[in-house]
Structure formats: C-alpha cells, structure tokens
Copies of this chain bind each other. A is one copy, B any other.
Amino acid sequence: MTRTNYAGLIDEQYLGQTVTLDGWVQKRRDLGGLIFIDLRDREGIVQLAFSPEIDADALALAETVRSEYVIEVQGVVAKRAAGAENEQLRSGKIEVQVQHIKILATAKTTPFAIEDGVEAADDLRLKYRYLDLRRPEMQRNLRIRAKITAATHAFLDGQGFIDIETPYLAKSTPEGARDYLVPSRIYPGSFYALPQSPQLFKQLLMGAGFDRYYQVARAFRDEDLRGDRQPEFTQLDLEMSFMTQSEIMDLVNHWVANIMAQTVDYHLDIDQIPTLDWADAMARYGTDKPDLRFGMELQDLTTIMADAEFGVFANAVKNGGQVKAIVVPGGAAAYSRKDIDKLAKYVERFGAKGLSWLKVDEAGVKGPIAKFLTAKTDDLLAKTKAKDGDLILFAADQAPVVAATLDALRRQTAHDLDLIDQSKWAFAWIVNWPLFEYQPDEKRWIAAHHPFTMPNEEDLPLLATPDGAHKAHAQSYDLVLNGYELGSGSIRIHRMDIQEKMLAALGFTPEAAQKAFGFLLEGMEYGFPPMGGIALGLDRLAMLLAGRDNIRDVIAFPKNSKATEPMTQAPTPVSKDQVEADLGLKAPVYDDGSMPNMAEE
C-alpha cells in the first residue's frame, strides 16, 4: 500500500473514496465492538472507524493498538453519524471506515502527552525532543520558520541576490563575543574559530564583485545563555554593493513585508514604518529597540527639576544627570505601595537607587515625595499630561541609568496592565547610531556595531584622532519589531585609510590591526566597492511570528541553559587519543570507555 493522502487533509470532498493513510495513533476509544482511532499526521487528525461490519480482522488488530503506534490504514471516507461531528477539525464531518490496518511500529507510553500546552520540564522536553516536536504547536513553529526561509530564498533570488556559503572553520579574531574554537590536527596548538557572523567574508565577496550576496548562515558565540540566546543561531545575511543606506533599508522593507505576507498573512505597509534617530529613541523610550505597540514615552523633567526642593532630583541634575518619568495610565489604583517596592527592587539591576513615584488624583499628586514637589506639581502635570488615576514613575541619575530604568519600567508596567495590543506588528528603523560606545566595565571604547561600520560622511574628519572618532556617528540601521532587535545593518568601510583609523580608535596598534585584519586591509587596496548590508536574526523573527517568547521553541534541537543537548548529551568527554595523539592538546578528563558522561550531571 502507498499513502494516498495526508490524514489531516481529508474532508467531505473525499466522501466515498478509498484512501490509504499513514500516521500516529493520537487516541483510541473502544465503544463495545466499535473502535474509533484519531490518526495524526503533520497536517492534522482524522477519525478512523473500525467495526465488525466494516472489517472484523481490522477491528481485531485495532484492539491491540495504543497511543503513538505508527499505523497504515486503508478505508473508505464516510459521513460521521449525526451528532458525532467535530467542528474543530477539518476532517470533523467525516471518518475513514477501515478495511485494512497494518502496524508499522509500536510505542511505549510517552513521558508526556503529545498535545499542545503540555506542562513538561524544559530538559524533559529536550531529552525527548522527537516527542516534543510531534506536538501540533511545535510542528507549526518549525513550519513558520521554514516559510520564512522559503520566502527569503524566493524573494532574494528574484532580486538578483546570489546565495553564497562562507566558511564555518574560520579565523579567530579579537573583538566581539567569545569564539568557539576548533583545534587543528595538522597544526597542533592552532585553532579555527566558528564564525560569530559572516561579516568579513561578505565584505570580501563584495570586493570580489558579486554585487548582491545572501546566505542563511549559522553563527556561533560562546556566551552565557539567556532565553533568547543559543550557542549557535541563524542569520538571514545580506550584503550589496553600490547602494545607499536608504536604498538598502527600502529593499529590506520589501523583504520583510514579503515574509510577513507569506508567514502570518499580514500586510505590512512599509510606508508606515517609522525611522527614529538613535538619540531620539533613547530619549523617548530609554532603549535602542523600543516597543512601539504602545506609548508611555519618557518625559524629560531635567529642566523643571533642576531647582526642585526634592534633593534626589536636584542633585541628579547638579551631577550632570537627568530626571525623567513615565506615566502609567490607571497605575494609581493598580499599584499598591508594596507593588511599587517590587518595581523598585526590580530596577536596582539597572543601577537605580530607589524609585520615586507619585499618584495623580483630582486634587493633584500624592505620595511620599509629594510634599517636596508642591512647587513643581503644575509644571509636572502640564509636562507629563498625567491624569487623575495615573501613576508617575521617576528616574533621576546619569543618563544611561535613567534610560535603562525607565525602559524596563515602561515595558513591565505596560505588560502588567495589559496595555500592549498583541495583534500589532510594530516595526521601526533606528538610525544614526554612535560609531563607538564606552564600556565602563572594561574602561575602553568599543564599536557600537562592529569595527567595519562606516561613519557618517560629515564625521570622517573626526577620525583624525581617537578622541574625535569616539564622537562620530555611523551609517548604521537597526530594524526593530515589538521591542526586539530583529536585525542590524550598516554601510561598511571600503577604504583602507578609514578602516585603519577606525581600528586605531578601537585601540589597535598598527601591528595588531595587521595581525587581526591584515587580509581585509590589504584587500581594500585592490578596489573594494562601497557596500552595505544587514543580518536579521532568524530565530528571533521566527519566535515573534510564531507568537512564542523563547527561541528554543523555533529551533529543532536547541541547547539548554548550560549549552548542553539533553537528548544526545553533547558535549561529552572524548578519548585520550583524540585529544592528545590527534590534536596535541591535554584535557582534564577523558572518556576511558566507562566514565559517565559529564553532561549528564
């Protein structure tokens, strides 16, 4: 027998036809001499009916079948008995009356149910990932992901982009996150690095004249993991020559609109996508990836509060800081003093020392700091437009702390009060970024994007000195969706003199620059074209379009938070021969053939 149809796609149009189906037993119900089986395949479920009248042998075999058995059946599509219809299912009006059944594989009882919304521990889901992936929501997640890549291939091929693969065994370079290393067997003590992005290779491909490149590329970073980070992740990676920033943004808009149409059937009006200056986004939202599905913008009260009686505010301004606030609509009743204490505790991680607040009522404002701000109340309410019943949350500190604090409070309170329209897709471009940012922990300047980002033309003279360079702005553009950074792009440096100055401003000596990026600098001496590009995070995009909040749900075999894979138990110790004889390295432990796997612990 050969399958004729997917089970989940059988409906009334097949009435009277004989079909052959393959799939998994979702459920078996015995009704005294009658058996019904819900047969599941990737397209959905169909009801199978077994009875002595249809076929006694098939009925007998059906009695032995249990959940998750793999079976093949042949039967006739018939109407269900009146009253037995299931409006939820495409196949809900019919059943397949089975004349032949074959058991292709038996199954033990699964450790969790094969159904949506299952409550299983993350590591259990990962250990039995092949069962977890049988659940309809996981099937849907990965198919949305595949639709994104299919739409990307079709769209970019149509736009003349050439799909070119770049190496995964690459060179370890400084800058950026920690590399995953791969020991060389031929040169013991030498290592390849798994690339953190195809950045340099795609610039070289533009130097090679391919004009338009793209790749669905894996990238690797050996960093500590969070919900939206994995050791390996996937970029939709583009680069093009001879195009300006606005031309590239326009092409990306069309690409993303195409993806939205084909995956979630959403018409994205690209003329309505706002473009915000980085400084503007930071001022209004406290973040470079603002969630524009709701308002609650940051209000700058620095001028008003410079001479406030309330010392926390006045001193912040005196010390060169800011006083800013957000207004939480209806927040006065929603947040008790205890709730606000929790918010205060929450924002400590962003450097906030305490959380000042006021509740607005008909009479004005109230709260512990109200008495220090009586002289400012009118200005405050006029500026913030806070109304009766609102909660005002303040941050008074240096600008980065104020921004991080109010960004977090804005998102948290909007979430708490359900102020976010979950049906919205709020895209935005963030442009005109600083070229550098200061890393207080490391006490050094790093590239805000990466060291190959082109400064604004008018800022080129600033690169004459490192101090000047640190004030420059960049031809870079990030695409944001619903508060997530979807992608990060820039015009690249294509001239050696500019690239050398950029590396100098990052603290590279000429020797260090040559050692790390000599091949790129040399390439630029042979005629590199102006170029720019972008990389979109596929995992994050798929997560958002699938309506999930963890990228693990859109990756077939992700790592857990310890960067291990509970199903195969990777990573594992390997033999002494592999490490010492083959690679010339020494490891603290070896797999002697009996040692338990470390990843099991």
Binding site for B on A (CB under 8 A): 2-3, 6, 22-24, 40-42, 68-70, 72, 104-108, 110, 128-134, 139, 142-143, 145-146, 149-150, 153-154, 157, 162-172, 178-194, 200-201, 204-205, 207-211, 218, 220, 222, 231-232, 234, 241-242, 244, 247, 494-495, 515, 519, 523-530, 555-557, 559, 562-565, 567-574, 578-579, 582-590, 597-599
Asked if B24 and A209 sit within 8 Å, CB to CB, the answer is yes
A124 to B143, CA, bound (A): 44
Q: Other than A131-B526, A185-B222, give 12 A-B pairs with Cβ distance below 8 A.
A: A6-B211, A42-B211, A104-B530, A130-B204, A130-B205, A153-B154, A169-B565, A179-B578, A182-B194, A185-B563, A579-B585, A584-B588
Asked if A572 and B171 sit within 8 Å, CB to CB, the answer is yes
Partner of A218, one of B157, B168, B187, B519: B168
Asked if A525 and B131 sit within 8 Å, CB to CB, the answer is no
Find chain B residues with CB under 8 A from A574 CB.
172, 181, 191
Asked if A242 and B570 sit within 8 Å, CB to CB, the answer is no
Asked if B106 and A527 sit within 8 Å, CB to CB, the answer is yes
Residue of B whose beta carbon sits closest to that of A206: B130
Asked if B169 and A559 sit within 8 Å, CB to CB, the answer is yes
Asked if A168 and B194 sit within 8 Å, CB to CB, the answer is yes
Asked if B232 and A139 sit within 8 Å, CB to CB, the answer is no
6 shortest interchain CB distances as A-B pairs: A107-B527, A133-B208, A171-B570, A189-B589, A190-B571, A171-B568
A317 to B127, CA, bound (A): 56
Find chain B residues with CB under 8 A from A172 CB.
570, 572, 574, 578
Asked if A181 and B182 sit within 8 Å, CB to CB, the answer is yes
Partner of A142, one of B162, B169, B201, B244: B162
Find chain B residues with CB under 8 A from A557 CB.
166-167, 201, 204
A555 to B167, CA, bound (A): 9
Find chain B residues with CB under 8 A from A204 CB.
129-130, 557, 567
Asked if A139 and B108 sit within 8 Å, CB to CB, the answer is no
Find chain B residues with CB under 8 A from A194 CB.
168, 182
Asked if B242 and A22 sit within 8 Å, CB to CB, the answer is yes
Partner of A208, one of B134, B200, B247: B134
* Most interface-central of A6, A569, A585 (chain B CB within 10 A): A585
Asked if A170 and B556 sit within 8 Å, CB to CB, the answer is no
A-B contact pairs, 11 of them (CB 8 A): A23-B209, A72-B242, A149-B153, A168-B220, A170-B565, A178-B582, A182-B571, A183-B587, A185-B563, A187-B564, A190-B572
Residue of B whose beta carbon sits closest to that of A217: B218
Asked if A528 and B105 sit within 8 Å, CB to CB, the answer is yes
A456 to B583, CA, bound (A): 40
Residue of B whose beta carbon sits closest to that of A209: B134
Asked if B529 and A70 sit within 8 Å, CB to CB, the answer is yes
Asked if B149 and A163 sit within 8 Å, CB to CB, the answer is yes
A597 to B146, CA, bound (A): 41
Asked if B210 and A133 sit within 8 Å, CB to CB, the answer is yes
